[in-house]
C-alpha cells in the first residue's frame, strides 16, 4: 500500500479503477448473445454471429448476431410501417419522446460510460465526461428542433426512412449525432452498428423500449460490411448517413447513384494543427494532447499534422516530448489513465504499417522511454508517437493513420502555413494557435476545412455543424444545417418524371439553307470571351417548325478544362463583398430588361408562344433581382455553446461549381441556377439546355455589358451528359448541380465518387421553374454554399 510520504516523493498516481459489476451483470444476463432490435423488439440470437472483445485485454464480452439481407428487409419494413405515424405526430409529441431519450441516457450514464469503455477501449474519463454527456445533449437539443420543425422549416417534411451506418471510434456519440436529428425531423431509422463496438447501440435500443419510443421508429441491425451494403442499397431507404473511411464513402456514393436517396458522408481527415510563433506554447502543447492522443488518436478530426513556425519549433518539440513522457497509457477503466487501448489488433497492424512507412521515408520518430513496455503489454496498446522532419508529400503527412501518431513539419510565413495545411485531399478540421486573433482569423478563413478551432481543439456541440470539405465528405451533422439533411421540400415527393431526352442531332450537313444571310456559329463563352469549341464540331439547333436556326459548338472535355481554368482565375469575385456582387446582379437585371423584346423573340423562335416568352423573360429579370437581394443577406450564424466560447457558422462559396441546366424554360432555368451560385460568390462552368441553348448563349452579351468579371460565368454548349460526366470527374470543380434525366443523375453521382464532390441533382424529376417555391429560394442558396464552423474562445 502506498505511503503518503512515498506519494509525495514520486507524485505518482495510485490505481483508481471504475466499478464494472453492473455492466458485467448485464453481459452475463445475455450470455446466449444479442440479436437485432426490430419493430420494438429484440430478435432471438441465432444464425451467424461475431464475437465482441475488450481491446484492453482481448477478453470476449459477447456474441452478436450478423444481420443478413432478410433481417435488413424486416427492419426497413418495420421502419416504413412506423414512419407515417411518427411523422404525423405533432412536433411537441416527438419532442417529448426525444426528451425522454435524453433523460434516460442521463439516468444510465455511468452504465453506458463503462460499457463503452469495455467495448471500445477508450478511457473511462472520456466516456464519462465527454461522450455520454454529449449524447444526452444531442437528444435534448433535437427535442427542441422537433418542437420547432414545422415553423423553422416551412415547406419541408421528413425525408422518410433513414439508413444510418456508424463507426467504432465514438459508437454511442455517433449514434446520437444521426438518430436525434432524424427522429426530430419525423424520419424513422434503421441503424447499423460498428462491427467492433455494437454493445452501446444495443443498450440504447433497450433504452428506446424503456422510454416508450413507438415500435419501429428506431431499429438496429448488427454486422459488418455486407450488412451495411444491404442497408445502403435497400430500395426502402430514402436517406443514407454514413460516418467512416473515405474508401467506403466512395463505395456508398457509387452504390446509391441514381437511386434518389439523400446522402451525407462524414469521412476521413488529416487535420492540421498550426502553431504560430506568438502562440502560448504550453497551451498549444496541451492542445496537442487533446488533438491527437484523445481517444488514442482514433478520431476523424484528430490534429495529426503539426505545422509549427520555425522560430519556436525546437522549443515546442522539446516541451512536447517532456509532456509525452508523463502521459499514462493502460487499463482504460482506471480513471487516472490518459490513453486507453486501440480498438482491435487489426488497427494496431494498420498503425504499425504507417509508422514503418514513415521511418522508411526518412522521418525521425520519438516515443516515450516507457513505450516498449506498453507495446509489449497484453491488449491493443500503442504508445504516443511523434515524427519530426516529415516531408509534406510523405505518407505520414498525407494518409490518415487513425492512431496516436503526430507528424510535425515547420513553416516560415503565415501563407506557407496555409499552403501546407491545404496540401491534403482531406478537409475535415484544423486547429490554429496564435495570440494574434487577426492572424488566426485570417488563416481560418483561407483554410479548406469544414471545422476550424482557434486556440482550442476537438470541441463539439449539438448546436454547431460538423462536416468536411473535399474528400472528407459532404453534409453536416448538428445545428440547423444538420436538420436540413433529414428534410426535403414537400413538393418534391409529388414531382413527376421528365420524359426521356432525344439525342442531339448529328453534326452533319443538313439541306435547306437559303444562303441569303451571313452564316453564324454560336460561340461558347470562356473567361469573358467568345470561344470556338476545341473539337471544331458543331450541331444544329432547330426552331418550332423544324427550321434551322443556328449551329452551336459541340463542347468536349478540353472546353470544360479551359472554362475551369478561367473560373479559377476569377477568384476576385469570391473575395468581393455581398453588397458589391448585389450591385452587379442588379445591373445584370437592368440590362436584361432593356433587351427583353430581343430575348422574347429568341424564345419564340424556338417554339414558345409570344405570351409565354414574354412571361419567361420577365420571370428571369425578377429572378436575378431576387438573388441580388440575397447576395448580402444569406449570412451564417453565431452560436454560444459555452459561456466562454463562440462558434461562427460561415457560409462560404464552393469557389468553382459545375451546372448542367434543364431543357424546360431554357432561359429561366439557366438564370435560376446560375444566379444563386454567383450571388454566393461562386464562379461557374455552366452547360445550357442542349436542345435550346440560344437564349443562354445570347445571355453572355448581357454579361459583357453588366460588369460581370470574365471567368465568373463560363458557358459550354453541347451534350449535357457528356459534359456533366467530365465535370463530375474534374478535381478542380468543387460541387456539381445537375438537372436532366434520371440516367444522367446516376452517371454524375457515380462518377463524382472519385473526388467525392457533392452533387445536387433532380433525378429526372420535373421542377416548375416559374413557381416561387420550386424555382427559387433558400434551397438554392443552401446548396450554393458550404458551411465552415469556426470555434473561438474569449475572455480566457
The catalytic site residues sit at 266, 300
For residues 140 and 635, give the distance between their C-alpha atoms in angstroms, rounded to a whole number: 26
Question: What's the full length of the chain, in residues?
Answer: 796
Cβ–Cβ contacts within 10 Å for residue 11, how many? Answer: 6
Is 544 in contact with 606 (CB distance < 8 Å)? Answer: yes
Is 454 in contact with 473 (CB distance < 8 Å)? Answer: no
For residues 20 and 117, give the distance between their C-alpha atoms in angstroms, rounded to a whole number: 10
Instruction: Give the burial class of 717: count Cβ atoms within 10 A of its Cβ; 0-12 exposed, 13-18 middle, 19 or more buried.
Output: buried
Task: Give the list of residues 6+ apart from residue 601 with CB closer than 8 angstroms, or none.
Answer: 613
For residues 7 and 626, give the distance between their C-alpha atoms in angstroms, rounded to a whole number: 71
- Which of left, alpha, beta for 258 (phi over 0: left; psi -120 to 50: alpha)? left
Distance from the Cα of residue 507 to its chain's centroid: 41
Q: Provide the sign of the torsion angle of the four alpha carbons 573, 575, 580, 581, taken in this order.
A: positive
Which DSSP state fits 491? G
Is 19 in contact with 9 (CB distance < 8 Å)? Answer: no
Give residue for cell 497551451: 283
For residues 409 and 273, give the distance between their C-alpha atoms in angstroms, rounded to a whole number: 10
CA distances from 332 to 56, 132, 379, 680 (A): 7, 16, 11, 48
What residues pair up with 447 in beta bridges, in sequence order?
Answer: none
DSSP result, 196-207:
S--HHHHHHHHH
DSSP result, 679-735:
HTT-EEEEE--SSS-HHHHHHHHHHHTTTPPTTSEEE--S-HHHHHHHHHH-TT--E
Continuous H helices in 153-193: 171-185
For residues 576 and 764, give the distance between their C-alpha atoms in angstroms, rounded to a whole number: 35
Give residue for cell 472528407: 472
Range 584-587 contact pairs with CB under 8 angstroms and sequence separation of 24 or more? 584/706, 584/707, 584/708, 585/624, 585/625, 585/627, 585/628, 585/631, 585/675, 585/678, 585/679, 586/624, 586/625, 586/628, 587/706, 587/707
Instruction: Give the burial class of 499: count Cβ atoms within 10 A of its Cβ; 0-12 exposed, 13-18 middle, 19 or more buried.
Output: exposed
Amino acid at each position: 500500500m502506498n505511503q503518503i510520504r512515498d506519494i509525495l516523493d514520486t507524485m505518482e498516481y495510485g490505481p483508481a479503477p471504475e466499478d464494472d459489476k453492473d455492466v458485467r451483470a448485464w453481459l452475463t444476463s445475455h450470455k446466449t448473445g444479442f440479436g437485432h432490435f426490430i419493430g420494438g423488439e429484440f430478435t432471438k440470437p441465432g444464425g451467424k454471429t461475431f464475437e465482441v472483445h475488450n481491446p484492453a485485454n482481448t477478453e470476449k464480452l459477447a456474441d452478436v448476431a450478423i444481420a443478413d439481407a432478410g433481417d435488413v428487409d424486416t427492419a426497413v419494413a418495420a421502419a416504413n410501417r412506423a414512419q407515417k405515424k411518427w411523422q404525423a405526430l405533432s412536433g411537441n409529441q416527438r419532442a417529448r419522446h426525444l426528451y425522454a431519450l435524453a433523460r434516460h441516457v442521463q439516468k444510465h450514464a455511468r452504465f453506458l460510460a463503462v460499457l463503452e469503455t469495455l467495448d471500445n477501449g477508450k478511457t473511462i474519463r472520456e466516456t464519462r465526461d465527454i461522450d455520454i454527456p454529449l449524447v444526452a445533449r444531442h437528444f435534448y437539443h433535437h427535442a427542441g428542433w422537433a418542437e420547432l420543425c414545422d415553423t423553422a422549416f416551412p415547406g419541408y417534411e421528413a425525408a422518410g426512412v433513414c439508413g444510418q451506418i456508424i463507426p467504432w471510434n465514438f459508437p454511442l456519440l455517433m449514434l446520437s449525432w444521426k438518430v436525434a436529428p432524424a427522429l426530430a425531423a419525423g424520419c424513422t431509422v434503421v441503424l447499423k452498428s460498428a462491427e467492433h463496438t455494437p454493445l452501446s447501440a444495443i443498450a440504447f435500443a433497450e433504452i428506446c423500449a424503456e422510454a416508450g419510443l413507438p415500435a419501429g421508429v428506431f431499429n438496429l441491425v448488427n454486422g459488418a460490411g455486407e450488412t451495411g451494403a444491404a442497408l445502403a442499397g435497400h430500395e426502402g431507404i430514402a436517406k443514407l448517413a454514413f460516418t467512416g473511411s473515405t474508401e467506403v464513402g466512395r463505395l456508398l456514393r457509387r452504390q446509391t447513384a441514381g437511386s434518389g436517396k439523400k446522402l451525407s458522408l462524414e469521412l476521413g481527415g488529416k487535420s492540421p494543427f498550426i502553431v504560430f510563433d506568438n502562440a502560448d506554447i504550453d497551451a498549444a502543447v496541451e492542445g496537442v494532447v487533446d488533438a491527437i492522443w484523445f481517444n488514442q488518436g482514433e478520431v476523424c478530426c484528430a490534429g495529426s499534422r503539426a505545422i509549427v513556425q520555425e522560430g519556436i519549433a525546437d522549443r515546442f518539440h522539446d516541451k512536447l516530448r517532456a509532456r509525452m513522457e508523463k502521459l499514462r497509457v493502460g487499463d482504460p477503466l482506471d480513471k487516472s489513465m490518459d490513453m486507453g487501448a486501440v480498438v482491435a489488433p487489426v488497427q494496431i497492424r494498420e498503425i504499425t504499417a504507417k509508422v514503418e512507412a514513415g521511418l522508411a521515408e526518412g522521418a525521425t520518430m520519438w516515443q516515450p522511454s516507457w513505450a516498449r513496455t506498453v507495446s509489449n503489454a497484453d491488449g491493443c496498446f500503442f504508445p504516443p508517437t511523434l515524427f519530426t522532419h516529415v516531408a509534406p508529400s510523405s505518407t505520414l503527412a498525407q494518409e490518415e493513420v487513425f492512431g496516436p501518431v503526430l507528424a510535425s513539419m515547420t513553416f516560415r510565413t503565415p501563407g506557407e502555413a496555409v499552403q501546407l495545411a491545404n496540401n491534403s485531399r482531406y478537409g475535415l478540421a484544423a486547429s490554429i494557435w496564435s495570440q494574434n486573433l487577426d492572424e488566426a482569423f485570417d488563416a481560418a478563413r483561407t483554410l479548406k476545412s469544414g471545422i476550424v478551432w482557434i486556440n482550442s481543439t476537438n470541441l463539439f456541440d449539438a448546436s454547431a455543424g460538423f462536416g468536411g470539405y473535399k474528400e472528407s465528405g459532404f453534409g453536416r451533422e448538428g445545428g440547423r444545417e444538420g436538420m436540413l439533411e433529414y428534410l426535403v421540400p414537400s413538393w418534391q415527393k409529388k414531382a413527376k418524371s421528365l420524359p426521356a431526352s432525344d439525342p442531339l442531332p448529328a453534326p452533319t450537313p443538313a439541306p435547306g439553307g437559303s444562303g441569303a444571310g451571313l452564316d453564324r456559329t454560336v460561340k461558347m463563352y470562356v473567361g469573358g470571351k467568345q470561344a470556338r469549341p476545341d473539337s471544331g464540331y458543331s450541331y444544329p439547333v432547330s426552331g418550332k417548325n423544324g427550321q434551322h436556326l443556328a449551329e452551336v459548338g459541340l463542347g468536349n472535355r478540353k472546353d470544360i478544362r479551359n472554362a475551369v481554368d478561367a473560373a479559377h482565375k476569377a477568384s476576385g469575385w469570391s473575395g468581393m463583398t455581398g453588397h458589391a456582387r448585389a450591385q452587379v446582379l442588379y445591373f445584370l437585371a437592368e440590362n436584361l430588361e432593356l433587351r427583353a423584346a430581343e430575348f422574347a423573340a429568341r424564345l419564340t423562335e424556338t417554339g414558345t408562344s409570344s405570351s409565354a416568352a414574354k412571361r419567361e423573360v420577365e420571370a428571369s429579370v425578377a429572378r436575378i433581382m431576387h438573388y441580388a437581394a440575397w447576395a448580402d443577406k444569406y449570412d451564417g450564424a453565431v452560436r454560444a455553446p459555452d459561456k466562454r466560447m463562440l462558434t461562427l457558422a460561415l457560409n462560404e462559396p464552393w469557389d468553382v461549381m459545375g451546372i448542367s441546366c434543364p431543357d424546360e424554360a431554357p432561359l429561366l432555368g439557366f438564370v435560376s441556377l446560375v444566379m444563386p451560385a454567383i450571388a454566393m460568390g461562386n464562379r461557374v462552368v455552366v452547360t445550357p439546355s442542349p436542345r435550346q441553348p440560344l437564349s443562354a448563349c445570347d445571355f453572355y452579351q448581357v454579361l459583357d455589358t453588366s460588369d460581370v468579371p470574365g471567368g465568373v460565368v463560363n458557358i459550354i454548349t453541347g451534350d449535357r451528359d457528356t459534359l456533366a460526366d467530365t465535370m463530375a470527374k474534374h478535381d478542380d470543380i468543387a460541387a456539381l448541380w445537375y438537372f436532366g434525366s434520371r440516367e444522367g443523375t446516376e452517371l454524375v453521382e457515380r462518377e463524382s465518387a472519385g473526388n467525392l464532390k457533392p452533387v445536387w441533382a433532380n433525378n429526372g424529376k420535373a421542377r416548375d421553374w416559374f413557381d416561387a417555391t420550386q424555382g427559387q429560394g433558400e434551397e438554392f442558396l443552401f446548396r450554393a454554399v458550404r458551411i465552415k464552423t469556426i470555434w473561438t474562445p474569449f475572455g480566457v
